[in-house]
Structure 1
Amino acid sequence: MNSPPVILLCVGLLYQTSSAVLMDKLADNKFCADAECSYALSMAVALDDFIAPDCRFINIKKGQMVYVYSKLIPEEGAGVFWSGSVYSERYVDQMGIIGYFPATMVKETHKFKEDTVTIPTTDMDFYCV
């Protein structure tokens, strides 16, 4: 029977294609619009270009619209980061990709929700694929 070699081959291929990395946490807690962080808190416009230093972050271009989904609550001495997704007809390939960016790189233009919930971040918030 040839099943065991096929199973081993499949497991080996899955292992080789898995390149996920658990990165350092940027904060222990975050503000969200709901308990799942599935609704946008606000819309913002990028004030300048930002190049993502690693896979936790997203690239944003000056003038690009960004949906803000969460705002990390910074630890003492840490930077202030928000998570979001870009919105632009010119950068359709980036739409829907959620990542972090410095809060100082954007200006909120419209708040969708004033009330927020504070929830703890998890390792999955900083998991890179």
Structure 2
Amino acid sequence: MSYPLVILLCVGLLHQTEGAVRMDKLSDNKICGDAECSYVLSMATALVDFTAPDCRFINIKKGQMVYVYSKLVPAEGAGVFWSGSVYSERYVDQMGIIGYFPANVMKEIQKFVEKTVKIPTSDMDFYCD
């Protein structure tokens, strides 16, 4: 790889995180379907409305379907959060936005992955735009 290309790549990465805000980590580990957390673990339905307290989370309406991509491993005494994306033609503006939500407001209705991996979270898991 040539040096100008490396410099352009680094500048591009810095530009992407320029407006980002580093938030506290919610957990040190997460459970995923693969090492990149790209596989959908399950589909869940919201039991109640959930309003995001900050930019790490997503708003969810009662009855909405959510693709679950990862499940945070809770620290002792901490809440359990999952990460996912809303699935619904009615909420097309929210589709593809991934964020956290409490597991206790969801009902898993279908599991897609049986074998999971536990991997460490990184600071990038909790950045906000």
Give the TM-score normalised by the residue count of structure 1.
0.86
SS in 2 for 1:66: strand
Deviation per residue, 1:38-83 (Å, 9 max, x gap): 0100000000000000000000000000000000000011000000
SS in 1 for 2:93: helix
Q: State yes or no: 1:125 paired with 2:120.
A: no
Q: 1:7-46 counterparts in 2 under 5 A?
A: 18-46=18-46
User: Offset at 1:108?
Assistant: 0.2
Q: 1:66-105 counterparts in 2 under 5 A?
A: 66-105=66-105
Structure 1 unaligned spans of 5+: 1-13
Aligned length in residues: 115
SS in 1 for 2:92: helix
In the alignment, the residues of structure 2 paired with residue 115 and residue 29 of structure 1 have an alpha-carbon distance, to the nearest angstrom, of 16
Deviation per residue, 1:25-50 (Å, 9 max, x gap): 00000000000000100000000000
The corresponding residue for 2:11 is: none
Identity of aligned residues (%): 80
The corresponding residue for 2:48 is: 48
The corresponding residue for 1:114 is: 114
Amino acid at match of 2:80: V
SS in 2 for 1:93: coil
In the alignment, the residues of structure 1 paired with residue 53 and residue 99 of structure 2 have an alpha-carbon distance, to the nearest angstrom, of 11
SS in 1 for 2:44: strand
Structure 2 unaligned spans of 5+: 1-13
In the alignment, the residues of structure 2 paired with residue 105 and residue 96 of structure 1 have an alpha-carbon distance, to the nearest angstrom, of 20
User: Offset at 1:89?
Assistant: 1.0
RMSD: 1.5
User: Offset at 1:123?
Assistant: 0.2
Amino acid at match of 2:77: G
User: Offset at 1:19?
Assistant: 2.6
Amino acid at match of 1:81: F
Which 4+ stretches in 1 moved above 2 angstroms? Answer: none
Amino acid at match of 1:128: C
